[in-house]
Amino acid sequence: MILYTELSDIPADFCPSVVTIGNFDGVHIGHARVISRVVEVANEHGLVSVAVSFDPHPMQVHHPELKHQEIMGQGSRRYFMCQLGLQNYLLLHYDLEFAKQSPEEFVKSVFVDTLRARYVVIGDDVRFGHKNSGDLNTMRELGKKYGFEVIVVDDLMADEKTRCSSTRIREYLNAGDMEGAARLLGRPHLMYGEVVHGLARGRELGFPTANLELEARGFIPVDGVYAGWLTDESGEKHPAAISVGTNPTFDGIENRQVEAHVINRPQERVEDFDLYGQHVVVEFVKHLRPMVAYRGIDALIEQINQDVAQARDVLAEGPYA
C-alpha cells in the first residue's frame, strides 16, 4: 500500500479511483466492510482503491480539552487496511485552516482534481467539510455535478440499538469489556510501542515485565490486570499477564503504565528473555480484575501467581488462543 501525506505527492496522471473517507480509528468491522467494498468496486472496474483520512484526529484539533485518545496509531491502521487489499492511503494534515474548506471545496480539490474519483464509497452517516456541514445528500449532489457515483454501505450494528463505531469500542475499553471490543474490532484490542526500562519491581518479585513506553500507540483500557498476548519483533507471539495502571501497592508511580509479563517460559530462560528496545504489540484478551493496593509484598506475589494462572487458562481456552 502506498502512503501519501500531501495532495502534491500524488502523480498528475494518477489512475481513476474508488475513494472512501473517514478516520478509520480501530479499523473495526464496520470500517472493514467499507474498505472491502472500495477494493471490490476498484477491482470490478479496473480502478485503484484509495482511503482518505486525517492526522491529527479532528477531535484533537477542535476540542483539545477533551484529550481524545485514539484506539490505534496510524501505523496499525495502515497495516490492517493493507490486509484488506487497499492500494493507497491519503493521510492529510488536519488543522483549523484545513477545516475551513466547504464540502464542495474539499471534494473538488481531493476527490475530483487529485484522485480522479469515479466512485465514492461511504456510510449513510458521513460528515465532511466546514463544521461537518456536508452529509450523504451533499455527496450525492456533488457526485452528479462532478461525475462520480456514490455507493452507500449499510451500518453494522453492535447490538439491536447501537451501530458499530469507534465511540462504542472506547466505551467497551473504558469498562474493561475486552470481549465486546473484540467483537466490533474483529480482533483483540492492541497497543504498539517500544519496551523501555521501568523500576524493575516486577523482576525483583520474580515476574519480569516488558514496560511499554508512555508514548505507546493505542487506547489504554481501564486499569487492571488482563490476559493477553505480546508479539515481539521476530513475530513470535507470547502469552502474557498484563498490568495497566499506576500500581497502587507502590509509591512514586504517577503515570499509567502498561506492563506485560510473559508466561509459560522455562524458569532458567526468564533472565535471558530481553525485550528492551524492541517494538512490540500487546493484545488485550480479557480483563481479569481491577487494580488493588496490597498491604505487603507477600500478598502481592500470591495475587500475581493467581493472575498468571488465570491468564494461562483464559488464553488456552479462548477464541484468540
Tell me the pLDDT tens digit for each residue of 268-313. Answer: 454 556 899 999 999 999 999 999 887 788 888 999 999 999 999 9
pLDDT reading at 250 higher than 80 = no
Q: Strands of 117-123's sheet, edge to edge?
A: 2-4, 88-93, 48-55, 17-21, 117-123, 149-153
pLDDT (tens digit per residue) in 31-87: 999 999 999 999 999 999 999 999 999 999 999 999 999 999 999 999 999 999 999
Residues 275 and 204 in one domain: yes
pLDDT (tens digit per residue) in 190-214: 999 999 987 656 556 668 889 999 8
Residues 130 and 17 in one domain: yes
- Within a domain: 164: no
Residues 76 and 137 in one domain: yes
Comparing 254 with 143, the larger pLDDT belongs to: 143
Q: Is the dihedral of CA 182, 185, 191, 192 positive or negative?
A: positive
pLDDT reading at 189 higher than 80 = yes
Domain span at residue 75 reads 2-153
- Residue 268 confidence (pLDDT): 45
The total number of structural domains that make up the chain: 2
pLDDT (mean) for 7-17: 97
Residues 133 and 220 in one domain: no
**Range name among 89-93, 132-136, 176-180, 291-295 with the lowest pLDDT average:** 291-295
Residues 194 and 146 in one domain: no
Q: What is the chain's mean pLDDT, rounded? A: 92
Residues 22 and 147 in one domain: yes
Q: Is the peptide bond before 248 cis (omega within 30 degrees of 0)?
A: no
Q: What is the DSSP string of 40-98?
A: HHHHHHT-EEEEEEEES-HHHHH-GGG----SS-HHHHHHHHHHTT--EEEEEE--TTG
CATH number where 222 lies:
2.40.30.30
- Residue 249 confidence (pLDDT): 52
Predicted confidence band of residue 320 (pLDDT cuts 50, 70, 90)? confident
- Within a domain: 196: yes
- Within a domain: 182: no
Residues 224 and 144 in one domain: no
CATH number where 9 lies:
3.40.50.620
Predicted confidence band of residue 163 (pLDDT cuts 50, 70, 90)? confident
Residues 114 and 14 in one domain: yes
Residues 19 and 98 in one domain: yes
- Within a domain: 293: yes
- Residue 72 confidence (pLDDT): 96
Residues 194 and 253 in one domain: yes
pLDDT reading at 166 higher than 80 = yes
In a 3-state reduction of DSSP, which class is residue 311?
A: helix
Residues 148 and 9 in one domain: yes
Q: Which three cell numbers stand for residue 261?
A: 509479563
pLDDT (tens digit per residue) in 105-159: 999 999 999 999 999 999 999 999 999 999 999 999 999 999 999 999 998 887 7
Contact 321, 283 (CB under 8 A): no
